[in-house]
Amino acid sequence: MQYTGGTTGVPKAAMLTHKNLYANSIQVAHSFLSDEKKRILSILPFFHVYGMTCCMNLAMSEGTTMILLPRFVPSEVAKVISELKPTYFPAVPTMLVALLNDPVFQDYNDFTNVLLYSSGAGPLPIEVFMKMSGKLEGADSVLVEGYGLSEASPVTHCNPIFAEIKAGSTGLPYPATDAAVADIETGTRVLPPGEVGELIIRGPQVMKGYWNRPEETGKTLRDGWLYTGDMARMDEEGYFYIVDRKKDIIIAGGYNIYPREVEEVLFENPKVQEALVAGVPHAYRGETVKAYVVLKEGENATEEEMINYCKERLAPYKVPKMVEFRTELPKTAVGKLLLLSIKIDCNIFRIFLCGTKKQAG
């Protein structure tokens, strides 16, 4: 019973069989650089499906080493990488952001002690990918982005180690895994390369169903396919790109806006450490774009400055109309940015405004 993260609704228990977990461990092992004994830097919590498979189950099935750290502290991670030279570091984007912005790592030259960095559990901003890849340039070390979800044990896609690694892409489907992009309206028509639709998956790692949730199971598992709820596109070479969660699309004045596109622009700003974009209620447009930003230590910026930065790089309807600066953003236990908390804040704010207006009327 692997509970979903609950970042897009009420958590559900995905029923993962022994076959599901075994298959996914073998699929993950297949993605390694070589057959040498692996030393896995295990910081991810094992109760989370990413840590369970890519750290714990992988190490057990391969009979190899886990280097355990009880929590993510950049200076401790630096020391471990320098002294113990782990070959594999499964991470989440917020870990990589923290490492790149930590003073200890600014002058750190041992990044290449790790042969393979993988990023999952959330979108990896292209700017972060490029900076991290720059640290590894000229070495045998690589950074790859993958994709997965609790309902698939979790990994279904990853950039291939032995072929082209594409920035912004979650890569190719794992061995024995089929993936396609289906139309949003019916979910039955497979879309051609370049078109955006819902990512659907089938393979030996796909769950049996949700525990005691037959209605939810029926919506998610259809005709042998797992409907992920993620919007994606595929290029001509079969690489997949996650555009955004279907439920996270902002509809403002009739336009569909994908938060990730706006977030990518904000991450390009040299003052920004983290960014999250959400739709908030708007009387005329239905929804409007709001950005939540964490600045790098020692930096200062204004709302107008951030909006103008986006105006130079985005179509007018995609530009955030509001920017809220925070000292930190809400995260799950694994470090994934938690959009649901932002949305709850927005809904509470909307209820407050409605109540105030009613009282005033």
Q: Where are the domains of the chain?
A: 2-245, 249-360
Question: Do you find a cis peptide bond into 330, omega within 30 degrees of 0?
Answer: no
- The rounded distance, in Å, linking the Cα atoms of 206 and 225 is 9
Structure tokens at 205: 């790692």
Quick one: fold of 249-360?
GMP Synthetase; Chain A, domain 3 (3.30.300)
End-to-end CA distance of the chain: 50
Given this chain, do its domains 2-245 and 249-360 carry the same CATH topology? no
Q: Hey, what are 289's tokens?
A: 């774009």
Task: Give the total residue count for the chain.
Answer: 361
Burial of 225-250, coded b for 16+ CB within 10 Å and e otherwise, reads bbbbbbbbbbeeeebbbbbbbbebbb
Q: Which two tokens stand for residue 196?
A: 């955006």
Residue with tokens 């992920």: 228
* Spatial distance between the Cα atoms of 302 and 298, rounded to a whole number of angstroms: 14
How far is residue 208's CA from residue 65's CA, in Å, rounded to a whole number? 30
pTM over 0.85: no
CATH architecture, range 2-245: 3-Layer(aba) Sandwich (3.40)
The per-residue pLDDT string of the chain (361 residues; one tens digit each, 9 = 90 and over) reads: 998 865 556 789 999 999 999 999 999 998 775 666 789 999 999 999 999 999 999 999 989 999 999 999 988 998 899 899 999 999 999 999 888 888 777 666 688 889 999 999 888 999 999 999 998 888 889 999 999 999 999 999 999 988 899 999 999 999 999 999 999 989 999 999 999 999 999 999 999 999 999 999 999 999 999 999 999 999 999 999 999 887 788 888 778 888 889 999 999 999 999 999 999 988 778 889 999 999 999 999 999 999 999 999 999 999 999 999 999 988 777 777 766 555 545 444 443 444 444 343 3
Look up tokens 């982005």; give the residue.
145
Please state, in angstroms and rounded to a whole number, the distance separating the CA atoms of residues 240 and 260: 15
